[in-house]
């Protein structure tokens, strides 16, 4: 018993450090790759050509190859750490003016602010000097982050990072990591032969078939002066309450019941992230001559 308590304390301390701006991740590489690979398939020819021109040489012409760059280069851009999430007050709501700030209280420093600002930088040729390739890679990554429900989780537990759980009674981990990686890993192993391309293609098939009546609503954004990222954060905050935190407490053992409730949400959020990333890029590169600058919500 003492050993278990010690392990939980050590895990708690580890996850507090992991939630610091230089270390937190979302969806891991697999989830981000799928979001961006789906987006590639929904780009207009105009947007696809514009994106291809901005990609770094090492990407091999593939947007999806760049979509974990913002995590990989976190130490180079330490100020960007708090742009990967938008912790809420645990009330199942995201409210921009209340929640979009960093630990110092500086406004617009959250994932919604990051999406708004990098969209604006790409749309506005008169924007401050920001490398458009860097802007594209941050934007693509943040669209994945905002669709992971616990990236809009409660500030009290750092988006589930300090909730120690046992995954299938085999691995001591934390709730945030379960959503970042463990659910996707188990789905890949159990259903897709550990083949990322198969899982991606199945999700894309669901978009065009099972979710075809929803897809147009996902990408809809009527605002001409801002993105709709605040809406995506609100969705994630609600899903965090309804699914991610549901029935979970310190020391919970999570298994099939939890996995089967979470997996449909993970699949759909990856799909929504891809469709919405494409919609934003299509809008940017069809309106790239516009002088209007997008504003935060």
Q: Which residue pairs, CB below 8 angstroms and at least 24 apart, start in 205-208?
A: 206/267, 206/271, 207/38, 207/271, 207/274, 207/275
What would the pLDDT profile of 258-272 be if each residue is shown by its tens digit? 999 999 999 999 999
- The pLDDT, as a whole number, for residue 26 is 63
Q: State the pTM of this model.
A: 0.89
Q: Going from the N-terminus, what domains does the chain have, and what CATH number goes with each?
A: 24-287 (1.10.575.10)
Query: For the chain, what is the radius of gyration of the CA atoms?
Result: 19
Confidence of residue 13 (pLDDT cuts 50, 70, 90): very low
Q: With contact defined as beta carbons under 8 Å apart, do 279 and 219 qualify?
A: yes
Element (H or E) spanning 273, and its range?
helix 256-286
253-254/164-167 β-pairing: parallel
Confidence of residue 222 (pLDDT cuts 50, 70, 90): confident
What would the pLDDT profile of 113-140 be if each residue is shown by its tens digit? 999 999 999 988 666 678 999 999 999 9
Instruction: Assess whether pLDDT exceeds 50 at residue 286.
Output: yes
Six-digit token pair at 276? 């919405």
- The pLDDT, as a whole number, for residue 25 is 55
Alpha-helical regions (H) of 43-110: 45-54, 69-72, 96-99
Bigger pLDDT: 16 vs 82: 82
Element (H or E) spanning 205, and its range?
helix 196-208
């Amino acid at each position: 018993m003492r050993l278990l308590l010690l392990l939980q304390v050590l895990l708690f301390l580890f996850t507090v450090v992991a939630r610091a701006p230089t270390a937190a991740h979302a969806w891991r590489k697999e989830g981000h790759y799928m979001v961006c690979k789906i987006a590639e398939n929904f780009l207009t020819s105009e947007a696809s050509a514009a994106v291809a021109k901005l990609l770094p040489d090492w990407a091999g012409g593939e947007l999806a190859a760049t979509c974990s760059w913002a995590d990989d280069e976190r130490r180079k851009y330490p100020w960007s750490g708090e742009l990967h999430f938008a912790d809420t007050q645990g009330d199942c709501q995201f409210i921009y003016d209340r929640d979009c700030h960093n630990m110092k209280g500086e406004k617009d420093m959250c994932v919604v602010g990051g999406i708004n600002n990098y969209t604006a930088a790409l749309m506005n040729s008169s924007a401050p000097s920001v490398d458009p390739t860097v802007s594209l890679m941050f934007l693509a990554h943040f669209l994945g982050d905002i669709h992971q429900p616990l990236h809009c989780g409660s500030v009290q537990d750092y988006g589930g990072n300090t909730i120690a759980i046992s995954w299938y009674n085999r691995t001591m981990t934390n709730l945030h990591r379960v959503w970042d990686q463990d659910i996707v890993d188990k789905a890949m192993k159990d259903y897709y032969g550990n083949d990322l391309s198969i899982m991606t293609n199945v999700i894309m098939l669901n978009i065009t078939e099972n979710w075809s009546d929803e897809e147009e609503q996902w990408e809809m954004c009527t605002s001409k002066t801002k993105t709709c990222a605040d809406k995506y954060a609100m969705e994630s905050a609600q899903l965090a309450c309804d699914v991610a935190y549901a029935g979970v407490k310190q020391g919970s053992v999570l298994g099939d019941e939890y996995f089967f409730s979470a997996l449909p949400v993970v699949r759909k959020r990856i799909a929504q992230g891809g469709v919405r990333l494409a919609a934003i890029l299509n809008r940017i590169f069809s309106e790239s001559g516009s002088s209007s600058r997008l504003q935060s919500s």
